[in-house]
């Protein structure tokens, strides 16, 4: 399924962030960057999301397919609780293509308990359909 990009894209050290034609904010992790997301890169990502969402809540589609990096506990906590992220996020759908990523993200959701609905998917069409209810 195409991303339906509106052409507005911000590139940060670990991902591309864009608004798509559905009205979702898409975070597309760069599969060539198999790094650890630390709190500095999490802050950079949150700033990009907040800027593209214009401080308004949007459904967020996180594409972490073909990515093998790790997220530090401090980065996970920051992504969950940063005020700019809270203001920008209505719900989050995570797309994964490996059992390892599915387990990591499911752990994040279960333990960090984001303040908005969050769910893991193994394909984009199901993630898109689920997020549409938050438009």
Residue 2: per-residue pLDDT: 43
Residues 5-47 pLDDT 10s: 666 899 999 999 999 999 999 999 987 766 788 999 999 999 9
Nearest-10 crossing angle of helices 99-112, 73-81: 60
CA atoms of 119 and 96, how far apart (whole Å): 11
H/E stretch holding 110 reads helix 99-112
Full set of structural domains in the chain with CATH: 5-132 (3.30.750.24)
Structure tokens at 86: 């809270």
Residue whose token pair is 């769910």? 119
Query: What's the burial of 65, exposed, middle or buried (CB within 10 Å: 0-12/13-18/19+)?
Result: middle
CA atoms of 85 and 53, how far apart (whole Å): 10
Half-sphere exposure of 55 toward its Cβ, with a 13 Å CA cutoff? 0
Residues 45-92 pLDDT 10s: 999 999 999 989 999 999 999 887 788 999 988 998 999 999 999 999
């Amino acid at each position: 399924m195409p991303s339906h990009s509106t052409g507005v894209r911000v590139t940060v050290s670990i991902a591309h962030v864009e608004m798509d034609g559905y009205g979702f904010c898409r975070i597309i992790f760069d599969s060539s960057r198999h790094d650890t997301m630390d709190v500095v890169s999490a802050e950079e990502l949150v700033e990009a999301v907040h800027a593209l969402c214009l401080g308004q809540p949007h459904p967020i589609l996180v594409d972490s397919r073909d990515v093998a990096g790790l997220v530090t506990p401090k980065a996970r906590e920051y992504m969950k609780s940063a005020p700019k992220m809270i203001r920008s996020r209505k719900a989050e759908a995570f797309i994964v293509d490996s059992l390892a990523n599915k387990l990591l993200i499911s752990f994040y959701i279960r333990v960090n308990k984001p303040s908005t609905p969050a769910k893991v998917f193994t394909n984009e069409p199901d993630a898109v359909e689920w997020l549409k209810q938050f438009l």
